């Protein structure tokens, strides 16, 4: 008997092969009605309910799942193994000493993650239980949101949010349209128009909607918000009428109905299959350079730990080679111990030594770093300088794991429109057949500056020209997707009010379109409305002209143009098309191309955004052919986008050029100053934009990315057509390498404009050729390396005509280069998301192109100018703080555990601990943790005003300079030195001992009772005070919090020691610390010894700093001396400049700008 495995195969393909391989469709029965007899067979499909789950854990799986995730971290797993070893074998220290710090870290992390997940559960519950109106049996009933199923007909009122993905059936508007805002999806607050199915738009009551008999065939759920392919089969008299469905018919979950009284729609995707839920997928985890350094240091210390344990194990058995030492009279072995194999005994001893020395690995460092990053991120959000009054928003931190990476950026990749510019479009001019028209050029009878040489609208170009002029104005009034709002308020905000009367205003998803339509209004042609398929415009004679809208060929980033097909009142049919000049001009067969092209190039050089406008008259036969092409493409379920694109190519041809427009997108406030500061800080700035080369280049000059003496190198399609790519690349390579080392911006004074540097311009097509893997040409394999070499020697790079994927490829290429530089990408639109996710640090701008960039970024800021403070101040501080934190943790643990290693040489390698269990447990948790945490949150080694005034200080911390191996080795050697001083200083203090009358041993020079716990306690006391005072010496910025925590930690240690040794604790089976600390403090020489040992431990570090600052000071250290008032500011600057000249080094940008910063600090 054969078994049908098709269902199983379908499930495997669906859930295992991946969403991208799932190309099948689904059938949705509207109102759950079966199709009529003779239609397709009724197959009831199972779909998920409308429950949304954003939480990570459930009540039952929280503990196992969270524990699994936490113990995947190497450090946590390592300490778990150590803890288990302490439980299994007889170790010198209590399991509590390892278990308590480990479980403290685990529990704190679990509570934090559990609380965050509880908040997600709470939010899910609120969403899932929201009431929704559903039509059943001709009546409206209320359902909880999670009970909605695919096929339910939903009723939505104005200002309500869609509970699932819907197909619009009808609306309260006569034309079947509705207005929607998708701010929660892509951040775009503009009103978008969606269209009901033509055959159902007239059904506006519950009974009428319930009578609809139809099925929907559509693709399976896809995460792409802007793509949908489907068709609806409407059964009328048992005959099916098929209509295409596209993204213009789909209302997405999370969007909100606006300016429409109500709608009816059918659910097609529910729950976790909605497009909103499919976009929940988390971003890949980014790791900072500091975290990588921490892991490297951890490996080194793990090797040191193993070496220590191995050395002690070997020495123990060498020591025990003498039978008298192996088994003394006071420590005889049992028979079982004698029978154990020597290898088993050696391995057990090795593990015991590992446990004894395991504190050299600082488990608490990880929780301290997490707390520092989490708490430190609030300083960005609380920064008033990064708050924008216009938006009413400040900076947002989405990922605190990368705070210190802000201080390590070497490459900045920025978008242009909306990032460097305001994305606030203003219509400047239009050109019709070479005649230029400037709105409002004549004001109060006077011609404005720059307008005298232009043709105005009242200088009629003649009868034929006037006809073409009006056709151009009509084209711009018709070729758009602008909506007209006539009410006085939208979302509670008044618009379009003039002299107390309600007036229309325009809303659109594209600010360019609004600017063009408003520009036409100023020139005499006003777009009024779209009503019943008729577009109405008001001409100069105040006559209303009506055009029937037949087709809209929507804009897309590949075609870079859009078209409409309209029928005039006379019956003539026109196709009006507008788009980028590179997209329109190749399709033009007539018109004054040269004149228009010259004006377009002139405006592009001025930094204006340009569009070309063309038209094509269509005969009735041609229109029918166009309708057939478009209808066939729209009804296709497979490859609809491809077929539509092919149809558009066939329709948008044989165009007649009318003219061009110019719109200005102004440069953002302080954008030029920010870019200049980034350059002075040693960062290379690349602009990646989809704009044309001339427009982007003009913006780069205005923003000082390119300076007046920058030599521009072009790697563009035009040049590659003249020469082959191989020759162009090698020519550019020879040019930049000839001046390498002497002509780059980094070697130029910021105050001098005589230095020549290079700027590279490359377009998307050429970049594709450069990135293409070698196939035909054997030399092409090296193109990428040559291109990278050229870029390395250019101070700035402009990449124009870039697709979103190409932006990410550029970032990935730089990341993978041999230097592995730290990259930052900043943008404001959905097209910037790919590069934001690819870069080490992604920053979103809260702009007008939506919030997708903000949602996918690591940090979000209101304006580009805020990037300056984020990097030069916050990034600088974060890196300084966390680098000290990491090095200090390793240092204090070396100081802590190395005396334990030395002690084994004096106790016969018996694994006897030097410190009491309480001290072992609390050293990293209580005694030394808070001071370094507060330091890592509060430290400001230089005043922030100076950091902003002198960007060159950023170079002092670049390239992970404070966490390099020489610095790490210095801290480790310092820790070893301190440990030797503490141990042997205390040892010599105990050197001369005598016995008292009661048999106790006492030191002759201090009159202190001698014992191993007294010895360990004295070493531990010196240790705690030494490592704390080391932090005191490194602190430059003192607040009451620093004083409270540092001195409070020392007081807490003393009080704890007094309490711990002053009481006989009934729950302890030993009382070895009883009276030890108090008896130690009762000895005057012990106090003196503590002071001398602390001084001896810290003295070399102090001497080293003094010598280094005197002989080889960094710029940072010089400024610290100025702030400390060591000598006058002017004298400092004079000596600094003289020194620079003496060293024959390039002048530093810190000269004049530093004077202002220091003077400000002094004041």
Candidates 1122, 1107, 1103, 1114; CA nearest to 1139 is 1114
Q: What angle do CA 744, 746, 750 make, to 5 degrees?
A: 105
Give 392's Cβ-side CA count (13 Å radius).
Answer: 0
Contact 257, 158 (CB under 8 A): yes
| Other CB atoms within 10 A of residue 1153 CB | 20
**Taking the alpha carbons of 137, 139, 140, 143 in that order, is the dihedral positive or negative?**
negative
152, 186, 415, 691: the catalytic one is: 415
Q: CA 222 to CA 151: how far, in whole Å?
A: 18
Cβ-count burial of 249 within 10 angstroms (0-12 exposed, 13-18 middle, 19+ buried)?
buried
What single string gives the DSSP state of each residue in 1113-1145? --HHHHHHHHHTTSS-HHHHHHHHHHHHHHHTP
Active site residue 415: yes
Beta-sheet pairing, 165-171 with 250-251: antiparallel
Contact 68, 106 (CB under 8 A): no
Helix or strand (DSSP H, E) at 545: strand 544-556
Q: CA 157 to CA 162: how far, in whole Å?
A: 10
Cβ-count burial of 897 within 10 angstroms (0-12 exposed, 13-18 middle, 19+ buried)?
buried
Local structure of 728: helix, strand or coil: helix
Q: What is the largest CA-CA distance in the chain?
A: 129
* Phi then psi dihedrals of residue 273, to 5 deg: -95, -5
Which segments of 444-508 are extended strands (E)? 446-447, 483-485, 489-490, 493-494, 497-498, 501-502, 505-507
Q: CA 794 to CA 812: how far, in whole Å?
A: 18
Place of tokens 């391989």: 21
Q: What angle do CA 685, 687, 689 make, to 5 degrees?
A: 165
Contact 478, 551 (CB under 8 A): no
Contact 966, 956 (CB under 8 A): no
For 376-384, which contacts have Cβ atoms below 8 Å and span 24 or more sequence positions?
Answer: 376/400, 376/403, 376/878, 376/881, 376/936, 376/937, 377/403, 379/874, 379/937, 380/859, 380/870, 380/874, 383/869, 383/874
**Taking the alpha carbons of 529, 534, 540, 542 in that order, is the dihedral positive or negative?**
negative
**Taking the alpha carbons of 784, 788, 794, 795 in that order, is the dihedral positive or negative?**
positive
Q: CA 398 to CA 1153: how far, in whole Å?
A: 33
Local structure of 192: helix, strand or coil: strand
Tokens for 140? Answer: 């409206």
Find all residues with CB under 8 Å of 1145, minimum gap 6, and list them.
Answer: none
Task: Tell me which residues are annotated as active site.
Answer: 415
């Amino acid at each position: 008997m054969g078994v049908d495995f098709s269902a199983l195969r379908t499930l495997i393909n669906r859930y295992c092969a991946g969403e991208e391989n799932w190309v099948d469709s689904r059938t949705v029965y509207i109102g759950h009605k079966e199709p009529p007899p003779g239609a397709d067979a009724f197959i009831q499909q199972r779909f998920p309910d409308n429950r949304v789950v954003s939480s990570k854990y459930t009540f039952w799986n929280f503990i196992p799942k969270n524990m699994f995730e936490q113990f995947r971290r190497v450090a946590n797993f390592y300490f778990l193994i150590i803890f288990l070893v302490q439980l299994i074998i007889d170790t010198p220290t209590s399991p509590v000493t390892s278990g308590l710090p480990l479980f403290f870290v685990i529990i704190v992390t679990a509570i934090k993650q559990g609380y965050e997940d509880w908040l997600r559960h709470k939010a899910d519950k609120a969403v899932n239980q929201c009431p929704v109106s559903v039509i059943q049996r001709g009546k409206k009933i209320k359902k909880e949101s999670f009970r909605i199923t695919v096929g339910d007909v939903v009723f939505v009122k104005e200002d309500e949010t869609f509970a699932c993905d819907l197909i619009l059936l009808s609306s309260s508007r006569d034309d079947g349209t509705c207005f929607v805002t998708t701010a929660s999806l892509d951040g775009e607050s503009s009103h978008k128009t969606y269209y009901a199915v033509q055959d159902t738009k007239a059904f506006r009551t519950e009974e009428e909607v319930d009578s609809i008999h139809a099925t929907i065939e559509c693709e399976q759920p896809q995460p792409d918000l802007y793509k949908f392919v489907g068709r609806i089969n409407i059964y009328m008299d048992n005959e099916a009428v098929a209509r295409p469905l596209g993204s213009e018919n789909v209302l997405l979950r999370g969007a909100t109905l606006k300016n429409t009284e109500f709608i009816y729609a059918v659910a097609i995707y529910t729950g976790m299959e909605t497009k909103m839920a499919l976009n929940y997928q988390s971003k890949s985890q980014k790791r900072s350079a500091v975290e990588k350094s921490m892991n490297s240091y951890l490996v080194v210390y793990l090797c040191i730990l193993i070496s220590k344990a191995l050395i002690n194990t070997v020495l123990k058995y060498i020591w025990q080679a003498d039978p008298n030492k192996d088994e003394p009279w006071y420590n005889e072995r049992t028979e079982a111990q004698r029978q154990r194999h020597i290898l088993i005994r050696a391995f057990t001893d090795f593990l015991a030594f590992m446990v004894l020395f395991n504190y050299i690995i600082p488990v608490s460092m990880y929780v301290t770093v997490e707390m520092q990053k989490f708490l430190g991120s609030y300083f960005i959000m609380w920064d008033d300088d990064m708050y924008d009054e216009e938006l009413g928003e400040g900076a947002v931190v989405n990922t605190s794991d990368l705070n210190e990476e802000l201080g390590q950026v070497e490459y900045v990749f920025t978008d242009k429109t909306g990032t460097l510019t305001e994305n606030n479009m203003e219509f400047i001019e239009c050109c019709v057949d070479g005649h230029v028209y400037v709105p409002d050029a004549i004001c109060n009878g006077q011609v404005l500056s720059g307008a005298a040489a232009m043709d105005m609208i009242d200088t009629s170009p003649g009868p034929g020209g006037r006809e073409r002029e009006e056709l151009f104005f009509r084209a711009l009034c018709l070729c758009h997707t602008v909506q007209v709002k006539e009410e006085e308020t939208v979302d509670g905000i008044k618009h379009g009010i003039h002299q107390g009367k309600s007036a229309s205003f325009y809303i659109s998803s594209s600010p360019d379109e609004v600017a063009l339509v408003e520009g036409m209004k100023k020139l005499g042609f006003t777009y009024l409305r779209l009503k019943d398929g008729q577009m109405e415009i008001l001409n100069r004679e105040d006559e209303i002209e009506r055009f029937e809208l037949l087709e809209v060929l929507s804009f897309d980033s590949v075609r870079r143009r859009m078209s409409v097909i309209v029928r005039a009142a006379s019956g003539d049919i026109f196709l009006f098309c507008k788009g980028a000049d590179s997209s329109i001009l190749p399709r033009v067969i007539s018109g004054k191309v040269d004149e228009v092209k010259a004006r377009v190039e002139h405006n592009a050089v001025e930094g204006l955004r340009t569009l070309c406008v063309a038209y094509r008259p269509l005969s009735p036969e041609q229109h029918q052919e166009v309708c057939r092409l478009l209808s066939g493409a729209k009804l296709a379920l497979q490859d609809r986008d491809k077929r539509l694109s092919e149809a558009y190519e066939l329709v948008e041809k044989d165009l007649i050029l009318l003219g061009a427009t110019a719109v200005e997108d102004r440069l953002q406030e302080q954008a030029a100053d920010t870019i200049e500061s980034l350059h002075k800080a040693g960062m290379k700035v690349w602009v990646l934009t989809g704009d044309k080369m001339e427009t982007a280049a003009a913006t780069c000059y205005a923003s000082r990315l390119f300076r007046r003496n920058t030599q521009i190198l072009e790697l563009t399609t035009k040049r590659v057509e003249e020469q082959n790519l191989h020759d162009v690349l090698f020519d550019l390579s020879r040019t930049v390498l000839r001046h390498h080392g002497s002509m780059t911006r980094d070697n130029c004074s910021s105050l001098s404009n005589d230095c020549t540097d290079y700027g590279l311009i490359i377009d998307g097509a050429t970049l594709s050729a450069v990135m293409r893997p070698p196939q035909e040409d054997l030399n092409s394999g090296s193109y990428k390396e040559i291109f990278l070499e050229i870029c390395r020697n250019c101070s700035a790079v402009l990449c124009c005509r870039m697709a979103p994927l190409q932006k990410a490829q550029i970032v990935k290429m730089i990341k993978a280069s041999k230097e592995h530089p730290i990259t930052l990408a900043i943008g404001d639109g959905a097209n910037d998301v790919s590069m934001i996710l690819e870069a080490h640090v992604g920053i979103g701008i809260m702009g007008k192109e939506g919030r997708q960039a903000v949602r996918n970024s690591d940090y979000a800021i209101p304006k580009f100018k805020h990037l300056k403070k984020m990097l030069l101040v916050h990034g600088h501080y974060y890196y300084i703080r966390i680098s000290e934190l990491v090095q200090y943790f390793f240092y204090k643990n070396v100081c802590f555990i190395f005396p334990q290693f030395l002690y084994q040489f004096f106790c016969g390698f018996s694994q006897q601990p030097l410190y009491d269990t309480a001290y072992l447990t609390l050293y990293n948790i209580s005694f030394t943790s808070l001071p370094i945490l507060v330091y890592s949150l509060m430290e400001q080694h230089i005043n922030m005003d100076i950091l902003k005034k002198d960007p060159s200080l950023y170079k002092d911390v670049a390239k992970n300079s404070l966490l390099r191996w020489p610095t790490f080795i210095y801290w480790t050697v310092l820790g070893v030195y301190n440990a030797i001083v503490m141990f042997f200083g205390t040892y010599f203090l105990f050197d001369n001992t005598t016995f008292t009358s009661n048999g106790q041993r006492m030191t002759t020079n201090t009159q202190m009772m001698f014992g191993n716990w007294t010895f360990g306690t004295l070493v531990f006391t010196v240790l705690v005070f030494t490592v704390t005072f080391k932090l005191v010496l490194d602190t430059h910025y003192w607040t009451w919090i620093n004083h409270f925590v540092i001195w409070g930690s020392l007081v807490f240690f003393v009080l704890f020691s007094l309490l711990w040794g002053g009481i006989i604790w009934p729950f302890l089976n030993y009382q070895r610390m009883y009276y030890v600390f108090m008896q130690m403090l009762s000895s005057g020489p012990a106090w003196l010894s503590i002071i001398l040992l602390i001084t001896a431990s810290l003295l070399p570090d102090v001497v080293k700093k003094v010598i280094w600052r005197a002989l080889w000071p960094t710029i940072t250290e010089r400024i610290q001396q100025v702030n400390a008032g060591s000598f006058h500011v002017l004298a400092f600057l004079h000596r600094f400049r003289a020194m620079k000249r003496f060293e024959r080094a390039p002048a530093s940008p810190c000269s004049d700008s530093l004077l202002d910063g220091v003077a400000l600090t002094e004041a």
